[in-house]
Structure 1
């Protein structure tokens, strides 16, 4: 039996109608995989002791990003100690310069995350979350290790103790310290438990140390290392040590003679901080070979003040070393602290961590034919108001004097004389100025250097020349020394006007001393906050960084 045509046609139309209403591409899916895409990029940009900079790309439809930090493992995430949520709105507010036409997936964010521990491995992962639809992405992850943290700021040493300073109220528990020993030897470590007062003040004093000895200290919060500091006690670890009170100042010559009588050739004189010593002059007797003049200002940092105009020697000696004293010559107009006019001289003299001030003429003058001195070294010192009657802070007055090393490092020199900083007629083998701040406001120095003979080598680096030089122009040298004297990595503020002879290769700033420093006329050379200066942390006396 044949089916009528109209019935077949009706059946076909019905099937076609049903087929048009169905979506043949509407496949089923597993709801477990209904999620956002992961950030396309996720990487560590910069690591600091207690923070990290992370770069990640945006995700379409994400309303926030969740960061999880796991401490002490490598991508295992078994010890999550920090979770940070960052909303997309806050990101777009922070990065307000974003191109609004770009897809979120084409935008990269770079965010800092703090509150980490130094010297610690971390795993970090991020996921994107859509809170409106209860969706999230899979994780992107990375691994990094924070470098050593450094909360120590400074230290003050004495002969048998040292005070260490760190950021006040930091989370710390104890200090581990030990004496530096030779290679292959095992140091004996000791522990100083910190009191609540120590923690609040950010300082503690280690006692019972050996003189003239190097030490290492590490500060901890439980087992987390938060800083490392090396220091050296003052004086020397042999010979005779004598602690002086203010009333002993006039008896120093007799005390030194008594040392010679007892066969003591190496002597350390210790001056107590916060005291004034009216010394005037010292004559070092024959028989003293090595003399240390040491200030004990470990606890409060206030150096002993030595009113000392002149030191002479009765015979040649190896060295005189000043450490941590305030040497005040009280502006005797014709004064040289060391005026060497015969063969009774030191092989070396050094000033370490001292204040040196109010010298009428020169700190050191070498003015005898045939003198052959190994070194004059100045480090970590504050020097002010010297050479007011001329002659230069350091003066070599004879052409045939020979000086092996003349150096000024990590120091601040203010108002360095009406003539010049250095007058070097003799032969200097090695002249070094590094990481120092040199400033004139009152003095009108004609030049920085006078060389009558070219030094063997001259290195002036990482230093700042500043101040208005008493509203007077200044030369780098008495003559044009640019053939052998340059100032790489040095800076000159705009209020210091250069005369004829230039500071070759120094960077001339558009900033004045008042623009760059907090209070330069009163000796505060900390850099002002917010001032753009490429030498920050690299140039000038590091105490101001």
Structure 2
């Protein structure tokens, strides 16, 4: 007796339920013609350029033919342009696919015994006989070191086939089909390096980059250019790998800057310090060959500027020498290390400085001072400014953070803003006799500053120095407050209950809540001054706010 397997199979389907594929193929209407059963329960799990195909493989089948096409596979014979794979195992991995592409897939079973092949079994997903690959992403993330103020360096998967990069104003602009800002054609050198540099971009601006192979999108990524290097007669970045800024180098750069300024006696340099670099800064004593203080050349205004990447470090075995005339001397985005200098500035010569500024800098374990003046000649600063800095463990060597106590000195203002000072071993500002017009303290967190019962926050004894304090938070201190013959103005400032100065105290206008430092700061002993009390947000260094 001949068994009609077709009806047995259909009964099985009714028993077990429908699967993700429909087998409309195995036997046909002529029951006298034996065929192989087709592949059942075809499933596809698609990625960007690969897809895993699984199906129920029958032992009577020697191999399967898999046909893949972006067309709908509607005809019985193979379609033009189809990909044909011989498959002997399940699961089977399809490679070399294109991202964000719709594919149609079908499978036919074959036997070497002469039994007729099955009809086609089609992959189905709901009402569709297709699947779609994910978007491809061959871009690597853009490193900080690959960003400048007007360029972005893009990198991608090695040996990937790509032709060009389209640049858009934003991801939203790309999604909305807005116009391309520019198209970069990838060169043979770019292909070999699997990288290219997009130039002509605006500083401090976000862009969206889409990479293609012909019309096929292979990746997309966003990146922003950096803030511009401050302008100067000469803007130059140190090469990667340089570990020393010495007198020869700074003199050479100064000569280039002066030439760029047309030989003017007042000229400027912005020196870019590579991200993550650690660089020694010192001259060399001609007699002993030992390290000496690096002298800023006469007339040069200079900015030491951190380039993108991990914060670079400048190590000073000797103090920086700033004698002479300079429009400005500035440090931006750096870690400054006492490598033996004890004082960052320890000037013994006459000087006229427009402004001396530290912005976004970190200083830890400076033995003595940031600025100490010891000259008997006249020294003039328009301003000394500390902004957005964190300074810890300073002054243990017995000197004030700013020691400018001589009648030969004239300073317009010492400005300290949006910064944190903790564990200050001596006076914060020592300005007896100096003609210091004013001290401006705004948005600052002080902790254990000063940490010595005989030292002052500001000691301008005998001077008419005006001291202005606002938005400032005073934590633990056993020290003394502000001594000056000038006016003391304090607004929107707060003291912890252990932040009361032992003498020369001053009133603050924010008196609630009453709380000790341990209740106000997260972990002050380990330098975490994140605020625990919401009502104090807006007071102190903004980096510690919680809203």
TM-score by length of 1: 0.54
| Secondary structure of residue in 1 paired with 2:424 | coil
Distance in 1 (alpha carbons) for counterparts of 2:542 and 2:151: 20
Output the CA distance in 2 between the equivalents of 1:230 and 1:260: 28
SS in 2 for 1:346: strand
Matched, 1:544 2:541: no
Tell me the distance in 1 between the aligned counterparts of 2:240 and 2:380.
Answer: 36
Q: Is the 8 A contact 2:495 2:508 kept in 1?
A: no
Q: 1:367 aligns with which of 371, 374, 378?
A: 374
CA distance in 2, matches of 1:175, 1:346: 48
Aligned to 2:522: 518
Deviations 1:438-494 (A, max 9, x none): 111893253211003434532111000113x3xxx3221247x6x721322111111
Q: Is the 8 A contact 2:423 2:451 kept in 1?
A: yes
2:234 to 235, 239, 242: 239
Counterparts of 1:162 and 1:377 in 2: how far apart (Å)? 31
1:502 to 484, 502, 505: 505
Unaligned runs of at least 5 residues, structure 1: 1-154, 164-171, 177-188, 193-205, 220-228
- Number of aligned residue pairs: 330
State the alpha-carbon separation in 1 of the partners of residues 404 and 326 from structure 2.
Answer: 19
Could you give the per-residue CA deviations for residues 272-308 of structure 1, whole angstroms, max 9, x where no partner exists?
A: 2222223355523535511111112x34xx3111111
Alpha-carbon RMSD: 3.6
Q: Deviations over 1:400-445 (max 9, x none)?
A: 411012100011111122x211001211223110001011189325
1:10-29 to 2 correspondence within 5 Å? none
For 1:174, the equivalent position in structure 2 comes to: 171
- Aligned partner of 2:248 in structure 1 is 254
* Equivalent-residue separation in structure 1 for 2:198 and 2:351 (angstroms): 38
In structure 1, the residue matched to 2:134 is none
Q: How does 1:104-503 map to 2 (within 5 A)?
A: 160=149, 174=171, 232-249=227-244, 251-262=245-256, 263=259, 265-280=267-282, 282-287=293-298, 289-296=300-307, 298-299=308-309, 302-308=310-316, 309-313=318-322, 315-330=324-339, 335-368=342-375, 369-417=377-425, 419-425=426-432, 426-440=434-448, 443-444=451-452, 446-467=455-476, 469=477, 473-478=478-483, 484-503=487-506
For the structure 1 residues 454 and 326, does the alpha-carbon distance in structure 2 shift closer, same or farther, using more than 3 Å as the test?
same
Residue 232 of structure 1 and its aligned partner are, at CA, apart by 4.2
- Measure the CA separation in 2 of the matches of 1:175 and 1:329: 48
Deviations 1:493-533 (A, max 9, x none): 112243132222343452122211221111111112xx352
Q: How far did 1:269 drift?
A: 2.1
The alpha-carbon distance between structure 1 residues 259 and 156, as it changes in their structure 2 partners (threshold 3 A), is: closer
Check conservation: 1:435, 1:539, Cα contact below 8 A.
Answer: yes
TM-score by length of 2: 0.53
Q: 1:305-331, CA deviations, whole angstroms, 9 ceiling, x for partnerless residues?
A: 111141114632221110000001146
Contiguous gaps of at least 5 residues in structure 2: 1-143, 153-168, 174-179, 184-196, 209-223, 261-266, 283-291
| Matches of 1:367 and 1:492, distance apart in 2 | 34
